[in-house]
Structure 1
Amino acid sequence: MALPPKFKGHRLLFFSDDPSVPAPTETAALEPLHTIEIFLDYVCPFSAKAFKTIVTSVAPRIRADPRLAGKVQVLLRQQIQPWHPSSTLVHEAALAVERLAPDKFWEFSAALFDDQEAYFDVNVVNETRNNTYRRLAKLGAKSVGVNEEELYSLLAIPEKAAEGGSLNIGNQVTNDLKIVIKTARLVGVHVSPTVIFDGVVN
């Protein structure tokens, strides 16, 4: 499935670590890539394990193999599972970081997985939504150096109705969130982690 340009931070490309392997040319860049799409929920323990495997085992092996580097891409697909109510908020934070610093998306994803228990049910049950967003903004500033206030402003829910009286107005990344949810629904993904290789669920 295609990747909208505004979500370019979701894409992980590989280039060989071997200095004898030439850098990709324009012609090579036009060649289709094998695509691993991994659907993950930041508040799912199984997704955390899958993410760690991709980052610490799969990615280094691809980079180390000149036959694979430059021919494979990994797309992190956000999979919000509604039985984890805080999942929406955490995924919104990742989208907001990507908007501010697309090159920090994977690094912030790692920080979210490392800190995921802070957003489990018991740890958010007595917290307002904007308070959770505030913690996520602090994590973004601490882990990847984005501006905490800019991040929070993308996430915060206004306390007043919009013009026209609407009370269900969401935040600055609500429309992006709708797109990532549609992406998973279009291919029938229900749970995380789910892996799709070259368009086929594995």
Structure 2
Amino acid sequence: MSVAPKFAGLKLSAGTFEETQHTLELYLDYVCPFSAKMFNTFYTLRPVIAQQYSPRLQVIFRQHIQPWHPSSTLTHEAGAAVLRLAPEKFWDFSAALFRHQTEFFDVSLVNETRNKTYERLAQIAGSVGVDEHKVLELLKIPESPGNDGQLNIGNKVTNDIKWMVKADRVVGVHVSPTVFFNGVEERSISSSFTEAQWGEWLAQNVV
């Protein structure tokens, strides 16, 4: 868990205390409309954050699966695949996926096979420069059991998803979007924050 810079003395560090960053964590679900609203606004602030707050602030996208959205797991598996193959493309992939968000809602997928959904997610990854075929290779589920007869085998990013779920549960995040600042939930921030409100909040808190 991150700590505020004013508590930097808690850390055993070879660096100076002035090097300690603030940490802003955004817990977002790819199929949550409110997460899309927050992400899309925040994504436009990247140049401002880079120019005004680097290196004092690190921002972390926390992938937050909400099981009442069955496709949530599938979309976040695609995010995990992108993190494996091209981590520098993760935020661009997320922006593209949020633009296509409604294509992965319940009604949109009710008659689609799981592997077909993976194919469409891989295409979105391909649209931002990630190898589409490699993404699909990490995601696809075999259509027949292996030599050991196992049926419930998951895919090549299942263990990554388990880690993400465990990390969210440890801090007690339930719904998205949820925001943590320096290790503590920041309830003053909502999905309806405008660019101006984000700018004001950052100016007041990242000092």
Match of 1:118 in 2: 103
Match of 2:121 in 1: 136
SS of the counterpart of 1:80? Answer: coil
Once residues 200 and 163 of structure 1 are traced to their aligned partners in structure 2, the CA distance between those partners, rounded to angstroms, is 48
Q: Which runs of 5+ in 1 are unaligned?
A: 3-25
Residue identity (%)? 58
* Most deviating of 146-155 and 110-119: 146-155
Q: Alpha carbon RMSD of aligned pairs, Å? A: 1.9
Match of 1:162 in 2: 146
Once residues 122 and 196 of structure 1 are traced to their aligned partners in structure 2, the CA distance between those partners, rounded to angstroms, is 32
Match of 2:70 in 1: 85
Q: CA deviation at 1:93?
A: 0.5
Q: CA deviation at 1:27?
A: 5.8
Match of 1:171 in 2: 155
> Within 5 A, what are the aligned runs for 1:25-36?
31-36=19-24
> Is the CA contact 1:97–1:146 (under 8 Å) kept in the aligned structure 2?
yes
Give the alignment's TM-score, normalised by structure 1: 0.81
Once residues 158 and 29 of structure 1 are traced to their aligned partners in structure 2, the CA distance between those partners, rounded to angstroms, is 50
Matched, 1:63 2:50: yes
Amino acid at match of 1:166: Q
Q: What are the Cα deviations for residues 32-86 of structure 1, in whole angstroms up to 9, with x where unaligned?
A: 21000110000000000111122113x3433342xx3211000000000011100
Q: CA deviation at 1:164?
A: 2.5
Match of 1:39 in 2: 27
> Is the CA contact 1:162–1:169 (under 8 Å) kept in the aligned structure 2?
no
Matched, 1:198 2:182: yes
